[in-house]
Each structure stands twice: as C-alpha cells, then as structure tokens.
Amino acid sequence: MPKTIEQVVRLAAPPDVVYRTYLDPRRHLAACGWGERAKITKKVGGWMQIDTEIWGRFLHLTPGRLIVQTWRGRGWSKRDESMLVLALERAKGGTLLRMTHVNVPDKHARGIRTGWQYYYWKPWRAYFRRLKRK
C-alpha cells in the first residue's frame, strides 16, 4: 500500500530564496552536498533530474510559495510514481517548508522518509546558515 510522508522543516532563508535554490541546478546541488549533475527545467511541464537518483516533472509552480511535481526514485518500477508538494511560508528567521510526498511505494517509504532528512533537510539547513553568515 503506497505511503504518504509529511515533514516540516525550518530553513534560515526567505521562501523566495528556498524556492529558487530548489529550482536552480547549481544551487540545488550546492545545498544538498551530493550529486554531480542536476537538470532542472523550471517551468510547468519541465523536468528535474538529479544524477540517476531522482526525476520528475513539474505540475505546478507558484514562485516563492509552492512546488508540485511528480517524483520517482532510482530502483522504482516503471509504474511507480509519486507526487511531491513543497509548500513554503514565511516564518520568523526564514521559511517554514511543509513537504508532503504522496503515493510513495511501500517498499521504498522508509528509505525515502529518512532520505529527505539526510539528503535534503540536514544539508539544506547547514547551507542556508552558511549563506546567512556571509
């Protein structure tokens, strides 16, 4: 049975900076601290691919506020496809990011849940703290 993963994270940057970082290949890789290649076409219908690990298509973009995309991970079957929603709101000291990842295949849910923390939220917090100090 597919799973839904919900996570909330605070980041020390305004929503428009977080939004632009996610959609900019160079900044995306710098914030994550992993991956060698990112291809991101930042428009509705555009594609995102990080190495051969993650790929998806943008379904809705509201600058500085909302990113909705399909999302697939390496090793997923061809018929497995989830939907990722990143909702950004201004909060004291930066951004409150609400992530909802829907229809994650059961056999991948545990790895995806911890992967968001390890590969995104922890390094993104550090990245935006470093930017704030500059």
Burial of residue 21 (CB within 10 Å: 0-12, 13-18, 19+) is buried
Q: Which residues form the domain of 36?
A: 3-133
**Domain tally, the chain:** 1
Identify the CATH number of the domain in which residue 120 sits.
3.30.530.20
Quote the CA–CA distance of 94 and 14 in Å, as a whole number. Answer: 5
pTM, full prediction: 0.95
Digits of tens for pLDDT over the chain (134 positions)? 899 999 999 999 999 999 999 999 999 999 998 889 999 999 999 999 999 999 999 999 999 999 999 999 998 998 899 999 999 999 999 999 999 999 999 999 999 999 999 999 999 999 999 987 76
DSSP, collapsed to helix, strand or coil, labels residue 120 as: helix
